[in-house]
Structures are given as C-alpha cells and as structure tokens.
Amino acid sequence: MRRFGLTGVLVLTALCGCMMPPAAAPAKPAVRSEAPRDERLAPVVRGTDDGLRARPAPAAEPAAAKPTAAVRVDEKARTVRIPVRFTRATGVVEWLLSAGAAHPTTSVLMTECPVGNVAEAMAKIGLAGGTRPQWVGDDRARPPAGTAVAIDIVVKDGAGKESRIPAGRFLCAGSGGQPLGEGAWIYVGPQMVREGDSQIVVTDLSGSLITTNLRDSSAMIYWVAKGGSDPAPYVTAYYASGAALSGGGETCEVEVRPASQK
C-alpha cells in the first residue's frame, strides 16, 4: 500500500474541496405581497386588522313630526271645522267620523285632532250636552236627546274654491245604495266618567265622534232616523256610499253648526 506524505494529504484535501459543490446561500425571508386595500371595506378592515376601534355609523336624523291641522272655530258664525280625510272604507260602516286610528275600516272619515279639542270647540259655539241612547230590551234603544246639528263636508279644489256636501250623501241606508232618508244629527257631547277626584273622557279612548250606531255609548254626535222617540232597533246597518269612496280633495273638513241656523 502506497503511503502519502503530509504534503500529499494536503494536496488531496485541497483537490477534494475544489470538487465539492459550493454551500447553498442562506435563504432570504419570504416577503408577503399584500393585495390593494378596498377602501369600501375600510371601516371593517380598520376595526379588525389594525386593532383600531370601528367608527360607529352616523345617527339617522329623527323625522320631523308632521304638524296636525287645528280645529277651527268661528264663534260669530257658530261653526266648527274639523280637518279630516276619507278612509275609502267599503261596505257596512258605523261612524261618519272617528278620531285617530280607532275605526279605520268602519268609518267614512278620520281626523288626527284630539277629541278634547273638538269638545272644546263645540262648547265655544254654545252646544250643550244631551242624553245618550238608552237600551231597551236586548235589541232596541231609545234615541238620544240633545241639540240637532247640521253637518257638511267642505272640500276645496286646487284653486281654493269651496264646495259643501251634506254629510248624509256619504252614507246609504242599504247595500243597494238607498239614500239615508230623513232624520237628524243629534249632539250629546263627549262621555265623561268620574273616578275619585279624576275625570276620564271615554270618548277620547273610543275615538267615536259622529256615529250611526245607537249601541255606541261614547259618541259625541248620533244619527237618528225619523220616527220619534220610540225605541228603535239599534242593529240598523248603514253603508259607505259611492261619494265616500271617491270623495276627497287637497283640503277636506267636517263643518258642524246648529241645525236651526242656515
């Protein structure tokens, strides 16, 4: 076996080092590429990625309350005008006029005016309270007694010209469109009940202003068909007329005045 000297070993070692592949360079840290940020998601991204508190959405502006038209009183002419709107109710109805949203499907007209304001207006033109319908047996009622009033629906056209229509035109005595017939609107005032030291206006709770229903114990004005003071069936049905379905206008009011004045 041939032996190499120290010089030979060093030469072999150097030759082996030249023949070995060079050592790999240290890997560079990977650089994460970021997609362009969509500014539409900025509030969400900032609240999650960046550790920032999300900005609350701006508070919505409260809707301005729509002013309610006031009841108009003419003490000299002794008239009260109540702003109203037609409900377009069909079929059987029990109220010519109700307050608030108490009877939207069985009332011809509705008003947003408080019942108390209407009652105060009636008192200013000298209308006094009367006697409410009295039940007789199971199916009859004695008609109310009070002040007879005339009721018109006053409609304004686009030019501001007024036209008056008697309230009875908006009601029918039958489903076939029969006219309301003879009778009178009787004012008895709002129903009030005392409880201890306080007084409750029941009409304010029921919203019943002008009715054809003698079962209603809290109405302010009743329709009484001609026939005297004898007890009459209180189940008589009245219907909204075609005028009630097509009635209306930009401005519409119910005018009440004593029937004795023209």
Q: Is 123 helix (H, G, I), strand (E, B) or coil?
A: helix
pLDDT digits (tens, 9 = 90+) for 102-161: 788 899 999 999 999 999 999 999 999 999 998 888 788 889 999 999 999 999 887 888
Question: Is residue 226 very low, low, confident or very high in pLDDT (cuts 50, 70, 90)?
Answer: confident
pLDDT digits (tens, 9 = 90+) for 55-103: 555 665 655 555 567 999 999 999 999 999 999 899 999 999 999 877 8
What's the CA gap between 103 and 207, in Å, rounded? 8
Rounded to the nearest 5°, which phi and psi values hold at 40? -65, -25
Q: Is 37 helix (H, G, I), strand (E, B) or coil?
A: coil
Task: Give yes or no for residue 239 having a pLDDT over 80.
Answer: yes
Question: Is residue 181 very low, low, confident or very high in pLDDT (cuts 50, 70, 90)?
Answer: confident
Question: Is residue 240 very low, low, confident or very high in pLDDT (cuts 50, 70, 90)?
Answer: very high
Per the model's pLDDT, the better-predicted residue between 38 and 232 turns out to be 232
Phi-psi region of 13 (alpha: psi -120 to 50; beta: other; left: phi over 0): alpha
- The answer to whether the beta carbons of residues 89 and 101 sit under 8 Å apart is no
Q: Is 44 helix (H, G, I), strand (E, B) or coil?
A: helix
pTM of the model: 0.71
Residues 206-223, mean pLDDT to the nearest whole number: 93
- The answer to whether the beta carbons of residues 185 and 151 sit under 8 Å apart is yes
For the chain, strand residue ranges (E) read 72-74, 79-83, 85-86, 92-93, 95-99, 107-111, 134-136, 140-142, 147-156, 162-166, 171-172, 183-187, 192-195, 198-201, 208-211, 221-225, 232-233, 238-240, 251-258
H-assigned helices in the chain: 6-19, 42-48, 115-124, 202-206, 242-246
Q: What is the largest CA-CA distance in the chain?
A: 153
What per-residue confidence (pLDDT) applies to 254?
Answer: 97
Residues 8-18, mean pLDDT to the nearest whole number: 47
Task: Give yes or no for residue 241 having a pLDDT over 50.
Answer: yes
Q: State the amino acid at position 157 in one-letter form.
A: D
Per the model's pLDDT, the better-predicted residue between 160 and 177 turns out to be 177
What per-residue confidence (pLDDT) applies to 50?
Answer: 44
Task: Give yes or no for residue 1 having a pLDDT over 90.
Answer: no
What per-residue confidence (pLDDT) applies to 194?
Answer: 81
**Lowest-pLDDT range, 128-142, 146-160, 189-203, 220-234?**
220-234
What's the CA gap between 150 and 81, in Å, rounded? 12
Question: Is residue 4 very low, low, confident or very high in pLDDT (cuts 50, 70, 90)?
Answer: very low
